[in-house]
Each structure stands twice: as structure tokens, then as C-alpha cells.
Amino acid sequence: MAITDHSSFYQDICDANEKIRSSDQYLDLDQLEDVKSLDGVIAAFSDDAIAIEKRNKCNYDFNNRITLSKAREMTSADRPIRVYADGIYDMFHPGHARQLRQAKQAFPNVHLMVGVVNDALTHKYKGPTHVPEAARYDRVRHCRYVDEVVRDAPWVIPVEFLIKNKIDFVAHDDLPYKCEESEDVYKHIKELGMFLTTKRMEVAPEHVVFGALYVFASRVLKPTT
């Protein structure tokens, strides 16, 4: 269907931008310390040598896990707390970056791993993606808060995955996410005391983004007479 009311889409964009500014004020992001990603470069993939080396050096015991209160008492001199955040990260936007920033700055010393779900699982459980998996992996690893990217991340996180990747906490917003097998895919993580709650950010919805692109394209590509 053709978009005829360009002013309406423009107002939607303005409203979305105001929500983003409000989110910044709510989280008081300016008071948070600056951070750098892994060794000051783009994030490693989990099967890269540098990520494997850091994982092997980590003193980790799943049966004697670090608690949230203990993690908050640790200093930057202690071993990094390994925090895992996961998602689809389709059309990676400021809301995604802000959520990852919260995870990165949850404790004094954090190694942030981000799991990105592949196309097959996303299409099965949620629907078509706008950006193919390879590009989604690459976009996330260029986010400055990310230290490591896990490709082909599981939709539901098994305990074996937590142990293999030496994960201390899983960061996500607290909304229940349903799938065929569960009413909340993070329920078992919460029961283990490994769930780190982040705040969900307001961003421009996809229909607004595509509407803005349509308006731009129709203006730029308008035939001359």
C-alpha cells in the first residue's frame, strides 16, 4: 500500500526519538563510566583463539557459582565476570546497544559475550529477518561494549552451554519470552540465580524505520519532469 501521509511518519519518527532521549535520562547513562571492548578492537568470535584462551584461563566452577551480591563486591582486579546476553539483533539499533551497555557495566570487570541466533531458528520461532545472520554477527561484534560474539546461539540456553562458555550471568529484560517448550525461555536461568535484569529501551518501531526509508526513497527517486 502506498504511503501518502508523509507528515504522519515524520511525527512518528520525532515521537520515537523523544522516547529514546527519555530512556537516556531514565538510566542516567552520562553517569556511567566509559568502557572499551576486548583489547580495544572489534569483538572476537567465540571460536577465535583469543576468546578460547581467555575462556580457558577463567577459574570457573558451575557448582560453586558467583552470586549477584558477590559479583557486585568484586573489583576490577578480580577475574572478569562473564556475562552473556542473547538475541536476534535484527537491524541493530541504539536500543540494542544500550541494553548491551547495561550488561557490560553491571559489575566492575565484565567480559561480555553476546549470542546471536541464526536465521533458521529465528525464522522458526519468530519469523523472517531483515538482515541475514552473517551481517547480524558482524554488526554486533562492532559494538564497543561487546567482547565476544557467539554465533548460532541457542534459542533456549541449556546448562551445558553455560558450563562450556563459563557463563556467570545471563543478561536480558525481565519480560517472559515464550516458545513451544516453555512459557519463559529464561525461567531455568532465573531459578539458578544467574539472571541479570536489564531495562528494555524505547526505540523507533520497524514500521517507522521502513516508513522513513520509503519517504526518503520516494523523494530522492522521484522522476523529474
Length of the chain: 225
Delimit the domains of the chain by residue range. Answer: 7-27+202-225, 34-198
> Which residue is listed with cell 522458526?
124
The correct CATH number of 34-198 out of 3.30.465.10, 3.40.50.620, 3.40.190.80, 3.40.640.10 is 3.40.50.620
Higher pLDDT, 99 or 21: 99
Q: Is the pLDDT of residue 62 over 90?
A: yes
Q: What is the pLDDT of residues 78-91, one digit of tens each?
A: 999 999 999 999 98
Q: Of 139, 28, 140, 133, whose CA–CA distance to 84 is shortest? A: 140
d(C-alpha 90, C-alpha 132), whole Å: 8
pLDDT band for position 55 (50/70/90)? Answer: very high
- Is the distance from CB of 118 to CB of 152 less than 8 angstroms? yes
Q: What is the pLDDT of residues 156-207, one digit of tens each?
A: 999 999 999 999 999 999 887 777 777 889 999 999 999 999 998 766 555 5
Average pLDDT rounded to a whole number, residues 83-100: 94
